[in-house]
């Protein structure tokens, strides 16, 4: 019997699209609490009339590709891989630890990745290449749990590759209480839960290569940057952002260690339909639905600033 604790997931940006690039360093191995590797093969059914009662007279597998879903805690070293996969551009600055990873919206198709899963069923490991990110979600819930992520990638059909040697970052993970929120230029300590989701146009592209494998994975526009948050209001501040269409600056600063921080910045946050005040709990809650909107400050709908120990070229 294969135990789940024996498994691991690695990620590495490809230098040549579709060519295997082995994860090797601590930032290349994700902390995963749920991993799902899907083998997706199109069903083609012959439904022609052949003088028989059966509607399905033949079955032919069609185009094939892979889908990867991973979930786990938000961490210091691996997460910039996911932020860059979601947004596209990264600029690393600094002369030493901490280096500043500034991740912003792409101006062309985003980078492709190799995802490697060792689960013990395939000797030595499964690899999904030419992978691009379809969605990334980070969240924490009210009063319990970790600050977590969920990422979904589409890539080429999984194949066998050499099992890499895994190594994991030993720095502490980010936790919800580390968040110091600034909203509309003022400190706001009233947010008790949040879910931030980045969605991309992402789809497999068939080809004429004489094989079942898709030719590429297309990653187009960032379709939405959506925030769902719960506040414990003491006045109309949060509701008025919706009622007045104020579109404030949102900046969530997570300080893990003194110099290793994570900032989620949306300089134009539009509070949207569905924002409301609820009275179904012991204290009043403002349930907020909002969207990050394109702006010059963030050069996109959102900017992520991640300080850690990784120098330029690490992502």
pLDDT in tens, 68-82: 999 999 999 999 999
Contacts of 13 (CB under 8 A, 6+ apart): 21, 81, 84, 111, 112, 113, 315
Give residue 246's Cα distance to chain centre. 28
Q: What is the mean pLDDT of residues 203-231?
A: 95
Backbone angles phi, psi at 276, to 5 degrees: -160, 165
* Residue 144 pLDDT class (50, 70, 90 cuts): confident
Which one, of 89, 102, 81, lies nearest residue 10 by Cα? 81
**Exposed / middle / buried, residue 167 (Cβ in 10 Å: 0-12, 13-18, 19+):** middle
> Does the residue 313 lie in any domain?
no
Rounded Cα distance between 86 and 79, Å, is: 11
Rounded Cα distance between 160 and 154, Å, is: 17
- The token pair at 3 is 């135990």
Residue 302 in contact with residue 264, Cβ under 8 Å?
Answer: yes
Q: What is the mean pLDDT of residues 5-30?
A: 96
> Does the residue 242 lie in any domain?
yes
Cα separation of the two ends of the chain: 36
Judged against a pLDDT cut of 80, whether residue 121 lies above it is answered with no
Give residue 27's Cα distance to chain centre. 15
> Does the residue 172 lie in any domain?
yes
Q: What is each CA distance from 11 to 72, 108, 112, 122, in whole angstroms? A: 14, 21, 10, 18
Backbone angles phi, psi at 88, to 5 degrees: 120, -45
pTM of the model: 0.95
Q: What is the pLDDT of residue 170?
A: 93
Our count of domains for the chain comes to: 1
pLDDT tens-digit readout, 236-245 = 999 999 999 9
Domain span at residue 296 reads 4-308
> Does the residue 314 lie in any domain?
no
pLDDT tens-digit readout, 177-208 = 999 999 999 999 999 999 999 999 999 999 88
Identity of the highest mean pLDDT range in 139-148, 159-168, 217-226: 217-226
Q: What is the pLDDT of residue 303?
A: 98
Which one, of 16, 39, 8, 212, lies nearest residue 125 by Cα? 8
> Does the residue 123 lie in any domain?
yes
Strand partners, 18: none
> Does the residue 315 lie in any domain?
no
Q: What is the pLDDT of residue 43?
A: 95
* Residue 30 pLDDT class (50, 70, 90 cuts): very high
């Amino acid at each position: 019997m294969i135990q789940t604790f024996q498994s691991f997931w690695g990620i590495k940006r490809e230098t040549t699209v579709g060519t295997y690039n082995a994860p090797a360093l601590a930032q290349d191995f994700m902390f995963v609490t749920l991993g799902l590797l899907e083998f997706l093969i199109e069903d083609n059914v012959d439904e022609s009339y052949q003088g028989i009662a059966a509607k399905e007279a033949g079955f032919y597998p069609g185009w094939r590709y892979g889908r990867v879903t991973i979930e786990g805690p938000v961490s210091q070293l691996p997460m910039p891989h996911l932020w860059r996969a979601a947004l596209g551009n990264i600029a690393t600055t600094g002369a030493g630890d901490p280096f500043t990873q500034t991740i912003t919206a792409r101006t062309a198709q985003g980078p492709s990745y190799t995802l490697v899963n060792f689960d013990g069923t395939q000797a030595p490991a499964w690899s999904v290449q030419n992978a691009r990110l379809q969605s990334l979600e980070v969240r924490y819930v009210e009063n319990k749990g970790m600050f977590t992520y969920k990422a979904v990638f589409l890539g080429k059909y999984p194949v066998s590759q050499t099992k890499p040697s895994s190594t994991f970052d030993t720095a502490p993970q980010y936790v919800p209480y580390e968040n110091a929120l600034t909203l509309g230029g003022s400190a706001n300590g009233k947010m008790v839960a949040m879910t931030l989701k980045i969605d991309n146009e992402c789809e497999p592209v068939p080809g004429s290569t004489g094989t079942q494998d898709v030719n590429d994975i297309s990653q187009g526009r960032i379709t939405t940057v959506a925030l769902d948050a719960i506040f414990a209001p003491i006045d109309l501040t949060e509701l008025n952002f919706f009622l007045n269409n104020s579109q404030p600056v949102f900046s969530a600063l997570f300080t893990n260690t003194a110099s290793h921080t994570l900032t989620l910045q949306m300089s134009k946050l539009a509070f949207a339909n569905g924002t409301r005040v609820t009275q179904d709990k012991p204290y009043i809650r403002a349930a907020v639905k909002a969207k990050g909107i394109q702006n010059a400050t963030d050069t996109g709908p959102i900017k992520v600033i991640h300080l850690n120990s990784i120098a330029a070229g690490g992502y």
